[in-house]
Structure 1
Amino acid sequence: MSEPPCSPPGSLPLSRLAEPLLRRLSELLDRAAPGKGWRELAQRAGSRGRVRLSPLDLEQCSLKVLEPEGSPSWSLLKLLGDRGCTVVELVEFLQAMEHTEALQCLSYSGIKIVVQPDSQAVLCGQVVKLCCWATGHPFVHYQWFKQKKEVPHGNSPELVLNPVKVNDAGFYICRVNSESSFTFSRWARLEVCDLQDTAHGSLISLPEKKLCICIQPQPQNLTVGDALVLECGAVGNPIPQYQWFRNGFPLANGNKNVYTVSCVDMEHGGTYWCHVFNDKEDQDSKKIEVIIGLLYYAGHGYENYGNSFMVPIDAPNPYRSANCLCVQNILKLMQEKETGLNVFLLDMCRKRNEYDDTILILDALKVTANIVFGYATCQGAEAFEIQQLGLANGIFMKFLKERLLEDKKITVLLDEVAEDMGKCHLTKGKQALEIRSSLSEKRALSDPIQQTISSAESMARNLQWAKAHELPESMYLEFKCGVQIQLGFAAEFSNVMIIYTRIVKKPPEILVCRAYVTDFPLDLDVDPKEANKGTPEETGSYLVSKDLPKHCLYTRLSSLQKLKEHLIFTVCLHYEYPGIEDTMDERKEVNVGKPLIAKLGLHHGFRNNCLQTCCVANNLFHSQVESSPVVTKYYFPSRCQPNSCPGAYHPNCTCPGSTRQLEACSCSGTSRMLASRHEVQNYSPPAEKSNVPIETTDDTVELEFLLSDSLGLSKQQ
């Protein structure tokens, strides 16, 4: 029976080798130096358990020298072929013998690739053709691979993808083999651009190989500390290349289709565009504006002469008011927006800065009845943090986050937070919440934001915001044993989701049963020790615990912005029957798609967890709002929660007069360390394993070498 066309050449038996090739090998072995001739080959072949050679076999081969045109090597090769020896085994023997000439006879003889496949970028839905044409004697066979996997039915010179899908993107290579040898084409990279907007459907009929920008960068309105993500997508053959510009100058590290800055500063504002080009054409994207504002801050602070100052993380040591941000100046800028509510929650020290004697003369603020200040401590005092297991939380923030979602007037909510803080004996006499307010009507942190302008930009932003807050629907899972489990979901932040499970039906013959969730993607920050807990608080969730159903097991998933694929996890059921000691178990895999902010596909643009506390469910925190007399604007210049925005720890703080105190905190019944807010500026959180995907090299030559070698070996074994 003939060998299938796509079978690897390494598995070809010696008996199938062409006669001229066998003759050439025989000549080389017959006249080889000692240690490289047919006797050495016979010895190595005979040492393998699968190929048995008797002394009589070797004697018959040796006697061939008595014949006029007899060849011991020819006789041996025919004998090995009859007993199932393959080409790859022969290659191994010759390599061990270091017989270079014989090895050259078996490699790449007679095959020449005349058409190589091209790398290209295409639109989802188009027809894509990858071509590889080769010549060889007597004929050649083809097999296409995507990375290391064979492409089904990919055994012709042309690989056609009709229509091409997003998951078809990747690196492709074609293996060409004849009866006696094989070789690989060069690697071809296929990029597939997915346009959700049906208005771009006409692009599918673009002329073949035409360079065209199909995804334009969008304007950005950011605040200091946000992540900048600009995307430009193009199709074409040869594959397009990219270079980003800002204010007319090329950007370092701006040679990808996505340009990111993990934590923006004021200097990152300006006019951006992307130059797209290949060997044949070039185009510029549209120019867009990136506006950087300041709304969120995390770091140390002090107070001089009634003015509060926030210290940037790169301030010199010692720092003065010229190096810092004055809270009163920020309030003035916020008043210019005519917002319905301005809230400052300042979780920072208010001690005097002895290195700063400057008395600032500020412009008078407007007289408005819409300002609330919540100071974590009294004037001249320090604010403290609780540290536990390498994490830190301000005393003020610890109690504030437990009431943050309550639908109460902001001053009433802060009064209750102050009462909670007063019950903590650890900070009595050291720290007390101070509230200042000019409110004349009921305003709450849970008030919805109202806009009077419905620009296209704001509508697009609102749509994106809505997409980032879509939760999976509650579902019921039926197990073979008759148990039914409800799986529910709740959002704590736009990138933090709570999964809760409960048993809703249990057959009477089952004694006890328990369901839990496990096997989450490595992209997410999920601590197995804090999963499947009896209360949300045990998972570290406080903000939405009052709204969750009772008598469930709760698991908190954070860093959803890092999720690259669908969220797939396993629901495990353990149950017991009376009189049976063994515990039974069943498992079901659940795919809930891309929940919350994961739907926006921002994982490639983040190198930190900036969204951990900045994106909050129920529209609590907004970095961009339209001008309106009833718009609510929130400002939290406090220390971030652990794993949140950058700049949370200030390495240069030398606030005078600080003392370190170690006491046992009874707030939550665990032993903790209490430290002054300015003392923990030098605290460095433990190093975490990066969840950011490492980009593959664009050097296809290197990739070709690595994967070709791997493919060749894997197919020969």
Structure 2
Amino acid sequence: MSEPVRSAPGSLPLSRLAEPLLRRLSELLDRAAPGKGWRDLAQRAGSRGRVRLSPLDLEQCSLKVLEPEGSPSWSLLKLLGDRGCTVVELMEFLQALEHTEALQCLSHSGIKIVVQPDSQAVLSGQVVKLCCWATGHPFVHYQWFKQEKEVPHGNSPELVLSPVNVNDSGFYICRVNSECSFAFSRWARLEVCDLQGTSHADLQEQSNDRPVATDKVALLIGNMSYWNHPQLKAPMVDVYELTNLLRQLDFKVVSLLDLTESEMRNAVDEFLLLLDKGVYGLLYYAGHGYENYGNSFMVPIDAPNPYRSANCLCVQNILKLMQEKETGLNVFLLDMCRKRNEYDDTILILDALKVTANIVFGYATCQGAEAFEIQQLGLANGIFMKFLKDRLLEDKKITVLLDEVAEDMGKCHLTKGKQALEIRSSLSEKRALTDPIQQTISSAESLARNLQWAKAHELPESMYLEFKCGVQIQLGFAAEFSNVMIIYTRIVKKPPEIVVCRAYVTDFALDLDVDPKEANKGTPEETGSYLVSKDLPKHCLYTRLSSLQKLREHLIFTVCLHYEYPGIEDTMDERKEVNVGKPLIAKLGLHHGFKNNNCLPTCCMANNPFHNQIESSPVASKYYVPSHCQPNSCPGIYHPNRVCSDSIRQPEACSCNGTSRILASRHEVWNYSPSVEKSNVPVETTDDTVELEFLLSDNLRFSKQQ
């Protein structure tokens, strides 16, 4: 069977555009300023002989305004499509009309990479598949590169190397192209081991030295703003820093702040969907907690006072559910107090855990003790995270790494005798968080996992709004956490006759509880966002939207523009309503009631001691270069969501005797005045990464798919 004929990108018929995009274009043309409306488009299109429009055609389009939901522009676009007008021709017409907002709908703002390629370690002779899937208007196509060289025939979403050999080892990246712009995937490292001259025993030894994961996923929850209990401060910073470190280790991370009981249970359910056979699963929790009879409980922000096990999530029950997924490694990092809850005499009777050699618990404090935060003038960590973040990227067995963290914590005299790290483990292999990802040949599960994760991390598209007065405003979006988003606005064009011009966002859904006094601020810090300030564009107004998991409908808000003309005292006003869909975690509907009983206690009774301990068995492992490092052959090129580990791993001396630090337990926290603390990890934004694009543009030559 012959290959299907593919149209050149520029010849894509206008009739092939998706209906939502056509509707959006119609709305823009229907209410366009003089000189940019549908009649002007018809005049431009009429200059082309094969799409010439008669007076009768224009009259039929005009009569659509008499229909309840009629649109002259919709009728015109349909007519142009039927007569063979292409997308490129339409863009030329819009360019001539200088209709910037309509052009934005057809250009780079539509590119979204929803599945990123994963690093892999394989044996020569196997079949390797690197996947990069993207969406965009009106179309996208792909170019794969190995370092700075284009891969021959690498013009599809899946790059298949069959059979793979040692020479294929290296770093790969995919460039996704549209008509007017492009976007890059993250780097994927491919390691290929040669079978020749290697005995079966050698291969077995190599396998034992370097276990692999089929994928890595992490759920990070930080609870601070409790309704009925003392507020906490450090979980926000702890979750943010751990997120950025785990991403460098190729983890798919979901980071959430301030969850209610139902939201926590539903978040765990979504986390379980990301797990599969051989996947490394990591759960980190920072907030209030307690431990009764060997079972650990995480306390949601809406827990009553006093709370009991029925109001909280049992960690051991989550472990049981993870085991059912046949995960390759289960890591629990619990940064919470472990004192007994005197108000809770209920003892959970859980189904017996499977006997597996892949469980690691890292408790921030010993049984019966409290976990502490270090309060200071700037943003601060919990004691556990302060020491953990300095070692997390080290290529060591996870239990060995935690042992060294425990030793570091023991040197801090401020918490000596109050807090000590406790490790429980059944791990018998040298498994580390730095282990490479090796997918199976059948990637259906991996693809589904990638799509599920991408669904919860999709930002709205950056957009430009054109007002009738000629002012143009940019709306941009950045993700601080999976449920916290920053909206920034700036005026990018202003007619010279306008002397004063101000724009702000308002009218947000009541679900989000946005305080107008904390919105549209001149710095991110004024909105409560202290972690991403250096990575956001300057000279904007910033609004921070938290608790996106509570959003029940699309995020719709209003952009208000105030402007003045010289000699006129009255202020002019224009308003535009913007609908950006459901951003980030809002798509998963965590606000709904319990989706199932996955996280509910299976049985309970009073005064029946139940204790499940796992012995620690740390084993040293040799040094290994982590797979997240950038290729030396591509100097100056970086991925916007990663940084070189050296910029984070530098150990800092513990100056716990400083007077600016205040120790507070997870039960009792002192107030502090946050100040700007710059982060060295870039934030995800919808703006193009300019430095990346220009550097790569010089090295990665664009060529159209044949």
Q: TM-score, normalised by structure 2?
A: 0.34
- Classify 1:646/1:377 alpha carbon distance in 2 versus 1 (closer, same or farther; 3 Å): farther
Counterparts in 2 of 1:119 and 1:78: CA distance versus 1, 3 Å: same
Residue from 457, 464, 482 that aligns with 1:494: 482
1:637 and 2:626 are equivalent in the alignment = yes
For 2:117 and 2:358, the matched residues in 1 are separated by 66
Asked if 2 retains the 8 angstrom alpha-carbon contact of 1:501 and 1:516, the reply is yes
Counterparts of 2:502 and 2:416, CA distance in 1: 44
Do the aligned partners of residues 668 and 96 (structure 1) sit closer, same or farther apart at CA in structure 2, a change above 3 Å counting? same
For CA contacts below 8 A with separation 6 or more, give which structure has more relative contact order: 2
Per the TM alignment, residue 540 of structure 1 is displaced from its structure 2 partner at its CA by 3.8
Structure 1 residue 572: deviation in Å? 1.8
Query: Is this contact kept in 2: 1:172–1:188, CA < 8 A?
Result: yes
8 A contact 1:61–1:76 mirrored in 2: yes
CA contact (8 A) 2:346 2:605 kept: no
CA distance in 1, matches of 2:651, 2:698: 60
- CA shift, 1:132, in A, is 56
Question: Offset of 1:160 from its aligned partner?
Answer: 53
Any idea what the Cα deviations from partners look like across 1:327-362, whole Å, max 9, x if unmatched?
789879867866455432222235689999999999
Higher mean C-alpha displacement, 701-710 vs 565-574: 701-710
**Superposed CA offset, 1:450-505 (max 9, x none):** 75486978765654544443332110112344332211123344444322212223
SS in 1 for 2:347: coil
Residue 550 of structure 1: how far off its partner (Å): 3.6
Counterparts of 1:245-644 in structure 2, within 5 Å, are 339=327, 341-350=329-338, 374-377=362-365, 381-384=369-372, 452=440, 463-508=451-496, 510-511=498-499, 513-541=501-529, 547-575=535-563, 583-599=571-587, 605=593
Shift of the alpha carbon at 1:569? 1.0
**Residue 123 of structure 1: CA displacement?**
52
Report the more deviating stretch, 696-705 or 483-492: 696-705
1:661-710 alpha-carbon deviations (Å, 9 max, x no partner) = 99999999999998643579999999999999999999999999999999
In structure 2, how many angstroms separate the alpha carbons of the residues matched to 1:476 and 1:34?
18
Give the direction of change, closer, same or farther, for the CA distance of 1:264–1:331 in structure 2 (3 Å limit).
same
Question: Relative to 1, partners in 2 of residues 1:350 and 1:510: Cα closer, same or farther, differing over 3 Å?
Answer: same
Query: Structure 1's 648 and 393: CA in aligned 2 closer, same or farther, altered over 3 A?
Result: farther
Report which stretch shifted further, 574-583 or 645-654: 645-654
> Is the CA contact 1:653–1:682 (under 8 Å) kept in the aligned structure 2?
no
Q: Is the 8 A contact 1:349 1:377 kept in 2?
A: yes
Name the CA shift for 1:714/1:21 in 2 (closer, same or farther; >3 Å): same
Residue deviations 1:625-659 (CA, integer Å, cap 9, x gap): 99999999999999999999999999999999999
The verdict on how the C-alpha distance between 1:164 and 1:36 changes in structure 2, with shifts beyond 3 A counting, is same
2:525–2:676 contact (8 Å) kept in structure 1:
no
Structure 1 pair 526–13 and aligned structure 2 pair: CA distance change class (3 A): closer
* Cα distance change on mapping 1:651 and 1:94 into 2, 3 Å: closer
Rounded to whole Å, the distance in 1 between the matches of 2:68 and 2:309 is 104
Change (3 A) 1:256 1:557: closer
Q: Is the 8 A contact 1:311 1:323 kept in 2?
A: yes
Alpha-carbon distance between aligned partners in 2 of 1:70 and 1:502, rounded to the nearest angstrom:
34
Deviations 1:396-418 (A, max 9, x none): 67999999999999999999999
What do the CA deviations read for 1:508-540 (whole angstroms, capped 9, x no partner)? 555554322111122333232322234444434
Say whether the 8 Å CA contact 2:532–2:682 is kept in structure 1.
Answer: no
Task: Output the CA distance in 1 between the equivalents of 2:644 and 2:106.
Answer: 76
> Per-residue displacement from partner, 1:126-174 (whole Å, max 9, x unpaired)?
9999999999999999999999999999999999999999999999999
8 Å contact 1:532–1:553 — kept in the other structure?
Answer: yes
Partner of 2:232: none
- For the aligned residue pairs, the C-alpha RMSD in angstroms reads 23.0
1:523, 1:563 within 8 Å by CA — same for their partners in 2? yes
2:613 and 2:562 map into 1 onto residues whose CA distance is 48
Task: Deviation per CA, 1:295-340: give whole Å up to 9, x if none.
Answer: 7878866689999787999999999999999978987986786645
Structure 1 residues 17, 125: closer, same or farther in 2, change over 3 A? same
Moved more, 76-85 or 451-460: 76-85
Using structure 1 for the length normalisation, give the TM-score: 0.33
Higher mean C-alpha displacement, 384-393 vs 653-662: 653-662
Change (3 A) 1:327 1:17: closer
Q: Could you tell which deviates more after superposition, 405-414 or 294-303?
A: 405-414
Secondary structure of 2:632's counterpart equals coil
Note if contact 2:111-2:137 (Cα within 8 Å) is conserved in structure 1.
yes
Q: Secondary structure at the match of 1:645?
A: coil
Q: Indicate how the Cα distance of structure 1 residues 13 and 616 shifts in structure 2: closer, same or farther if over 3 A, else same.
A: same
Cα gap change, 1:70 to 1:673, in 2 (>3 Å)? closer
Query: Could you say which structure has the larger radius of gyration?
Result: 1
Q: Could you tell me which residue of structure 2 aligns to residue 225 of structure 1?
A: none
| More divergent stretch after superposition (390-399 vs 331-340) | 390-399
Asked if the contact 1:518–1:571 (Cα under 8 Å) also holds between the matched residues in 2, the reply is yes
Q: CA deviation at 1:580?
A: 6.6
Q: State the distance in 2 between where 1:191 and 1:458 align.
A: 19
Give the direction of change, closer, same or farther, for the CA distance of 1:39–1:358 in structure 2 (3 Å limit). closer
Distance (whole Å) between structure 2 residues aligned to residue 429 and residue 18 of structure 1? 65
Per the TM alignment, residue 716 of structure 1 is displaced from its structure 2 partner at its CA by 68
State which of 691, 696, 700 in structure 1 corresponds to 2:680.
691
Distance in 2 (CA, whole Å) between partners of 1:185 and 1:444 is 25
CA distance in 2, matches of 1:129, 1:534: 46
Contact kept, 8 Å, 2:399 with 2:618, in 1: the verdict is no
1:112 corresponds in structure 2 to: 112
Residues 313 and 651 in structure 1, CA contact (< 8 A), matched pair in contact too: no
More deviation, 182-191/326-335: 182-191
Given that 2:170 and 2:189 are in contact with CA atoms closer than 8 Å, whether structure 1 keeps it comes out as yes
* Separation in structure 2 between the aligned mates of residue 596 and residue 712 of structure 1, nearest angstrom: 33
- The DSSP-based 3-state class of the residue aligned with 2:380 is strand
Checking the alignment, whether the CA contact within 8 Å between 1:126 and 1:162 is kept in structure 2 is yes
Please give the alpha-carbon distance, in whole angstroms, between the structure 2 residues aligned to 1:125 and 1:542: 49
Work out whether residues 377 and 673 of structure 2, in 8 Å CA contact, stay in contact via their aligned partners in 1: no
- The range that moved more, 590-599 or 20-29, is 20-29
Q: 1:413 to 1:294 in 2, by over 3 A?
A: closer
Could you tell me which residue of structure 2 aligns to residue 682 of structure 1?
A: 671
Does structure 1 conserve the Cα–Cα contact (< 8 Å) formed by 2:497 and 2:565? yes
Q: Which sections of structure 1, spanning at least 5 residues, go unmatched?
A: 201-246, 266-288
- Higher mean C-alpha displacement, 608-617 vs 102-111: 102-111
Query: In structure 2, what is the Cα distance between the partners aligned to 1:598 and 1:674?
Result: 35
Larger mean Cα displacement after TM superposition, 639-648 or 610-619 = 639-648
Asked whether the equivalents of residues 459 and 686 of structure 2 are also in contact (C-alpha less than 8 Å), the reply is no
For 1:353-393, what per-residue CA distance to the aligned partner results, in whole angstroms no more than 9, with x for missing partners?
A: 99999999999999999776544346764224699999999
Aligned residues: 646
8 A contact 2:459–2:477 mirrored in 1:
yes
**Residue aligned with 1:109, SS:** helix
After superposition, the Cα gap between the structure-2 partners of 1:636 and 1:355, relative to the gap in structure 1 and judged at 3 Å, is farther
Aligned pair in 2 of structure 1 residues 61, 619: CA closer, same or farther (>3 Å)?
Answer: closer
How far apart are 1:570 and its partner, in Å? 0.9
Contact 2:477 2:685 in 1 (8 A): no
Aligned-residue offset at 1:4: 61
**CA 455–379 in structure 1, closer or farther in 2 if over 3 Å, else same:** same
Structure 1 residues 139 and 585: alpha-carbon distance in aligned structure 2, compared to 1, 3 A threshold? closer
Assess, with a 3 A threshold, how the Cα gap between structure 1 residues 129 and 497 changes in structure 2: closer, same or farther: closer
Distance in structure 1 (CA, Å) of the matches to 2:450 and 2:636: 28
Work out whether residues 115 and 447 of structure 2, in 8 Å CA contact, stay in contact via their aligned partners in 1. no
Conserved? CA contact 1:570–1:589, under 8 Å? yes
Which SS does the other structure have where 1:95 is aligned? helix
**Percent identity over paired residues:** 91
Aligned residues of 2:637 and 2:692 also touching (Cα < 8 A): no
Contact 1:117 1:130 in 2 (8 A): yes
The answer to which of 120-129 and 393-402 deviates more is 120-129
